[in-house]
Chain A
Amino acid sequence: MVKVELKGVTKRFGDVVAAGDVTLQIEDGEFFTFLGPSGCGKTTTMRMIAGLEYPDEGGIFFDGEDVTNLPSFRRNTGMVFQNYALWPHMKVFENVAYGLRVRKVEQAELKKRVDEALELVHLDGLGGRFPSQLSGGQQQRVALARVMVINPSVLLLDEPLSNLDAKLRVEMREEIKEIQRELGITTIYVTHDQEEAMAVSDRVAIQNHGVIRQVGTPSEIYSFPREVFIASFIGRGAILEGVAGVSGGVPRVDLGGFTVEGVDSASAVGDGDRVACVMRPESFSIGAPGEPSNRLDGVVEWSSFIGPYREVKLNVGGTTLLVDVPPERETPVGGSLTVYIPVRRTIVLPWVEVK
């Protein structure tokens, strides 16, 4: 198990910056996720860690040792590819045994370890099949077993679940997390699915246009996004544009028809700045909470029953907010509704146009 460090890693493909000055440290045994929209450079960053691409600038270190220019086959990373990359001409057993054969592990030991790996991913007994005879989920497990068998120092997972159906995806991600926790292996995960990232990661790095925008635990990133891009990429809810009036560190935001108090989570808002105000639908409540809150009176524009909650579009002073209310609460269109949101749940960020 190793600690992985990236120092100023930059990679360009022509004019496109796939990785822009990426600097971060992934701890020994950590489950670390690169999250971002497609084309943001997360896969390229991972491929550089695997040694399948080489950075134009910067360095990559495993436990302090410089591996920047080491070819992939000398790095002992285990990468699961998005398309699994199972070798179609080899049976499952041979696919899994491959890394051990390359390492010249003797026959009895090899067989034992392959069987263990197949057991780990619940594929015992399927070693004699060809990959084409397996279901998508099973192929995924073979890909995982194939890298786990070599005891990699880092496990790299490149969108491993994107080819599975929704139900299997949830099942597999729990299984991957389980295996990772059991073995304590440093794991780097790449995905564009925020829910997946939140569910499995110890920490998440949000990447956009090659640049890391924020690193933090899932709850930090969800609750305190540092910029508008992150707030809009993760979670639901309206992002409203307004003007800040800062006094005593607490920004009051004029949103046109009404004002709210909020927290400046990025500590970047000054008096009179154009700001974005992020209010998550689930942060609203019908009754006043026992903490400093913003009270908003509005008219229901549209209401839809989702199941666990009722999603309401609420017009407050000419601005539309998305608000979740308890499912039993009737919210007829045109009726008036008063909701509260705690000040600490009202995030104020410097305004940036999200492209």
Chain B
Amino acid sequence: MDLKKTIGTLKRELDAMTAIQTFIAYAFLLVFLIAPLVLMVGQAFVYQGGASFRWFTDLLSSPEYVSFTSRGGRLFEVRRGVMYLWGHDYGILLNSLIVAFFVTVFCSIIGVVAAMLMGRYRFPGKSLFRVLLLIPLLATPFVNAYIVGKLFNPRGGLINYLLVDLLHVLPWRLDIDGLVGVILAQTLSYYPIIFLNVLASLNSIDPSVEEMAENLGARGLRLFRTVTFPLFLPGLAAGAVIVFIFSLEDLGAPIGFTGARANPLSRKLVSYQVYSSFAEALTGSFSPKIAALAVIILFIAVAGFLIIRRYVNLRTYAMLSKGGRWSPRLRTPSVKTQVAIILSLIFLVTLASMPQIGTVILATSNWAISGTLPTKATGQYLGTLVSDPDVTRAIVNSLLYSGAAVVITVLVGSSIAYVVARRDIPGRALLDILATIPVAVPGIALAVGYFLLFSSKMFRGSILDPLLDPALLMILAYSIRRLPFTTRAVSAGLAQVDKSLEESSMNLGANRPTTFFKIVLPLIIGHILGGAILSFVYSMSEVSTSVTLGALREDRVPITFFISQIVYGVAAVGSVSIGAALCVLLMAVQITAMAISNFILKQKVAFLGV
């Protein structure tokens, strides 16, 4: 009876359209997400033909990867008028975790403070700050870290020049490099993720909840601790776990710092080690040890993501309010406080947008070779975007890959969002998780998995073989990695379309496909385009698979690979400006996309969360 009922339900729910959508979604995720990762995990557990933990015990027992005493480095060490801030080497694996931890803590502090200021106070220039605080979201891969390294160079770094030589506020020059440099560069790039998540949570708190607490006598810190903080904690947790994962898998900072300062400490990170081993992979063999390393960070990232996701779902308080006024709770503080708020925000914005400002200066002047300050403006680097055939080819490649990836992402992502939101089929929850999990899958882990699977005997010589032509694999990798953007955007759209709008269509005689195309699609097309634009932008600036798989064939390299080579120093001195010019192009694409989203589609840019 129960079985009969289940089959009956399945038959009704699984009409032709749902069946096709579900099949495509599962097939795509299975082949291009699950299979490569499973194969990679499998290889990491094989030693000399048998199942073994050998690679993992090797890693964990080798001081090169895990060491509980410092293997070198300098921290708060003053020598000959220079304060060295490099950090200590505790082995590659621990280094990655330590860096990710500090980045998460610093981003959380900055993000929460900025969100509280923006979400609770009224002061002049606020709407300007709202925009300025998001500047770090503009992607300037590799170049941002290069610029941080350049600014904090004890020999001629602009910051040292200002603080020591000009203003005499510091007794010694700062040398920020190595792991501390990576932490600084990542913090500046990632704090907006937490800022946006917390701000969204703050804005969804019904003001009367806080007013009630005040009415009962709670004020100031007590109000914050007992009511406000617990209510935005889920938003903070969601943002924090994303920052932690992004930091773990980031390649931009280690490569960028290496280019700027050549301190080997900034390379002692898991992401960098996996990346550099791709060079060996070109010769055919890929060490299972590297697969094991990728498996470890994959496991940490995915586990952290799933745990936080569960926690956030449990703790997302449905606001119980009924009616009444709902304008954000804004206070106008005293003039003195307002000045303090504005000054601290100016400080934050200036510091955080240094990489973006620096990128523009680098691209339009001789700063790369002139020393502390640029001395001459020039358009020659921006000119190379159209004149240098190698650069132009990278741009065209990136546009093609991202465009193709968006088509795939939109088809699969909308299907998943629709099936998950509307159809009661078995495996629905799994589909939902699979469509979100790419946020947590480190790009380098995916790259390793792709390489292992598609260069294996099964695919050798096929169009998917990366050693033959990595273009198609990069497109697929982009579409998997950006799938959560589109899926979330479309889900948000569907959440706004009441189910009864579809039911009334079916009640009037339209079958499901007709209902989908005539009712649902027109109502969510804005969200689909919004998700598509976001996916496109983040595909253009994708780093991890671009610099690994992209390296496999010279005429197939995308923009980010090209930048990484320039910044890393493979190309001639001074050519870092060409990398900066490419970053300016990326920023222009991103600003255009945001403008289209905001003003034409009227969509708030959906941002990252759990």
Contacts and interface: CB of A to CB of B under 8 A. Distances in A.
Interface of A: 50-52, 54, 56, 69, 71-79, 81-83, 85, 87-89, 98-99, 102-103, 146-147, 150
A81 B506 contact: no
A56 B5 CA distance: 7
A78 B507 contact: yes
B505 A81 contact: no
Given A83-B500, A102-B514, A76 B509 contact: yes
Contact of B508 (A69, A88, A147): A147
Contacts of A54: 8-9, 12
A152 to B, nearest CB: 9
Contacts of B518: 98
Nearest to A77: B507
Interface in B495-525: 498, 500-501, 503-511, 514, 518-519, 522-523
Contacts of A150: 508-509
A102 B503 contact: no
A69 B522 contact: no
B504 A79 contact: yes
What are the nearest 3 A-B pairs in CB distance? A99-B508, A85-B500, A85-B504
Contact of A81 (B12, B503, B519): B503
A217 B8 CA distance: 37
Most B C-beta atoms less than 10 A away, residue of A72, A146, A150: A72
Interface string B4-19: 0100110010000000
A73 B510 contact: yes
A71 B16 CA distance: 14
A71 B504 contact: no
A99 B509 contact: yes
A82 B498 CA distance: 12
B37 to A, nearest CB: 35
A179 B376 CA distance: 83
B507 A50 contact: yes
B507 A79 contact: yes
Given A54-B12, A89-B522, A102-B514, A72 B498 contact: no
Given A73-B507, A79-B503, A102-B510, 20 more contacts: A50-B503, A50-B507, A52-B507, A54-B8, A69-B12, A71-B12, A73-B506, A73-B508, A79-B504, A81-B500, A82-B500, A85-B500, A85-B501, A87-B501, A87-B504, A87-B505, A88-B523, A98-B518, A146-B504, A150-B509
A199 to B, nearest CB: 26
Contacts of B498: 83, 85
Interface in B187-233: none
A92 to B, nearest CB: 14
A146 B518 CA distance: 16
B14 to A, nearest CB: 12
Contact of A102 (B5, B509, B523): B509
Contacts of A103: 509
A153 B547 CA distance: 64
Contacts of A147: 507-508
Interface of B: 5, 8-9, 12, 498, 500-501, 503-511, 514, 518-519, 522-523
Most A C-beta atoms less than 10 A away, residue of B498, B503, B508, B509: B508
Contacts of B5: 56
Nearest to B9: A54
Nearest to A47: B503
Contacts of A87: 501, 504-505, 519, 523
Contact of B509 (A52, A69, A73, A88): A73
A147 to B, nearest CB: 7
B523 to A, nearest CB: 6
Given A56-B5, A69-B12, A83-B498, A98 B503 contact: no
Contacts of A102: 508-510, 514
Nearest to B13: A54
B524 to A, nearest CB: 10
Nearest to A158: B500
Contacts of A83: 498, 500
Given A69-B12, A88-B523, A52 B503 contact: yes
A51 B506 CA distance: 9
Contacts of A98: 505, 508, 510, 518
Nearest to B2: A56
A134 B9 CA distance: 39
Nearest to A81: B500
Contacts of A79: 503-504, 507
B184 to A, nearest CB: 49
Contacts of A82: 500
A157 to B, nearest CB: 12
B503 A72 contact: yes
Contacts of A73: 506-511
Nearest to B11: A69
A165 to B, nearest CB: 16
B408 to A, nearest CB: 27
Nearest to A150: B508
Nearest to A83: B500
A10 to B, nearest CB: 11
Contacts of B504: 79, 81, 85, 87, 146
A81 B518 CA distance: 19
A87 B515 CA distance: 11
Contacts of B501: 85, 87
7 contacts: A51-B507, A54-B9, A73-B506, A74-B509, A79-B503, A79-B504, A88-B523
Contacts of A72: 503, 506-507
Contacts of B522: 89
Contact of B506 (A69, A71, A88): A71
Nearest to A89: B522
B423 to A, nearest CB: 13
A69 B503 contact: no
A84 to B, nearest CB: 8
Contact of B523 (A71, A81, A85, A89): A89
A81 B502 CA distance: 11
A7 to B, nearest CB: 17
B500 A146 contact: no
Most B C-beta atoms less than 10 A away, residue of A73, A77, A78, A147: A73
B601 to A, nearest CB: 15
A307 B243 CA distance: 69
A78 B519 CA distance: 18
A282 to B, nearest CB: 35
A87 B505 CA distance: 9
Contacts of A74: 509
A239 B507 CA distance: 43
A341 B422 CA distance: 57
A147 B519 CA distance: 16
Contacts of A50: 503, 507
A78 to B, nearest CB: 7
Contacts of A51: 506-507
Nearest to A156: B507
B500 A69 contact: no
Most A C-beta atoms less than 10 A away, residue of B498, B505, B514, B523: B505
Nearest to B511: A73
Contacts of A77: 507
Contacts of A75: 507
A227 B11 CA distance: 41
A99 B504 CA distance: 10
Contacts of B510: 73, 98, 102
A150 B500 CA distance: 18
Contact of A78 (B9, B12, B508): B508
Nearest to B504: A85
Contacts of B519: 87
A74 B507 CA distance: 8
A121 B345 CA distance: 59
A219 B522 CA distance: 48
Contacts of A52: 503, 506-507
Contacts of A88: 523
Contacts of B508: 73, 78, 98-99, 102, 146-147, 150
